[in-house]
Amino acid sequence: MEGRVVFISCYCDTSEKIEVLSKNLDILESTGVKTFLFSGLPLPEYIQERSSFSFVTEENPILKWPDKSTIYWSLINTPKGTVRISNVVPDYGYAHLNQIKRFSEMITSYDFDQVFYMIYDTVLGKYEMEFLTNFTGTRFHPFQRPDRLDSFYPIGLHLFGVEKKDIVKISSSISLEEYCKDFSNPESFFEQKIVIPNGFSVGSEIVSDWIYYYSENSSLSHSPSKKIDFTVIRDYYSSSDPLKIFIWKVCEGFNEDVSLIVNGRHITCNLFELINIGCAYSEINSISLIVGNEFFDMSKIMGSISQSSIDFI
């Protein structure tokens, strides 16, 4: 079975992501290349039927605090002064590396001589299509989101091609132990552990993506409402301390009441003030947010919060 196959790493948990994946499948189908969907979530049947291979796995190793995570922080100006907010979020990088490793181990049992790796939302423009159809050997590309100059990576994982003889060099180099040692993201891991040691070629063309995960300060906000941004303050190391909430941004013209219902108890949340929820993390049985006429169950969001802090400047 000589020929080309494109591995597509997926975790499509919204209709927007499914739509982007579907459009990229349209583009790839026009070239006659075979595709291999590798997903951490079930995909719609009509999506799976359009791919040559479809593999769904429950294996999705997301790393959490205190083992490994990413810390975001920012100085935020409010009408009542400046605050510094930090928030720890899970590390999703190894989940992607693990998909690459598992696929690489599987695909070596087939006879494909050209194997491409991409993410479901990679922008497939003129250059990318030429790369997929005129393969000249193992090559990686830098990555950058067009709206964020600080998102440049010398080695990106959104599109690269590998000769069959090089696949084992990739799969054998990926390990959780090595990733957790010194690397803050999967891109730097690939650069330092795979691309540089093996002398792999790096193209000059920058690859980008369609879905932007973080807008300004979104990595700091725990709010499910588009009207307000807030951070729930939790000290991981002081498990008995009550949680607090601080609303630090509201939409233009906002003039609605905000409140929480915690274990059946109603708590009014004043804007730009630190509000004591009155319960430790382990004591919360139910928690809901009310913003004007909007109602949100906060249980799932609360379960994702590991460590966050606030300092008044």
Regarding beta strands 34-39 and 53-56, do their DSSP bridges make them parallel or antiparallel, or are they unpaired? Answer: parallel
Distance, in Å, from the CA atom of 57 to the CA atom of 62, rounded to the nearest integer, reads: 14
Residue 9's Cβ-count burial label (10 Å; 0-12, 13-18, 19+) is buried
Angle at 310 between CA 306 and CA 312, to 5 degrees: 175
Structural domains for the chain? 4-60+91-202 (3.90.550.10), 228-312 (2.60.40)
Write out the DSSP string of 33-85: -EEEEEESS---HHHHTTSSEEEE-S----B-TTTSEEEEEEEEEETTEEEEE
Instruction: Please report, in tens digits, the pLDDT of each residue of the chain (313 residues total).
Output: 468 899 999 988 889 999 999 999 999 998 889 999 999 999 999 999 999 999 998 888 888 878 888 888 999 999 999 999 999 888 889 999 999 999 999 999 898 989 999 999 999 999 999 999 988 899 999 998 776 666 788 999 999 999 999 999 999 999 999 999 878 889 999 999 999 999 999 999 999 988 765 445 568 999 999 999 999 999 888 878 899 999 999 999 999 999 999 999 999 999 999 999 998 888 999 999 999 999 999 988 888 888 899 999 8
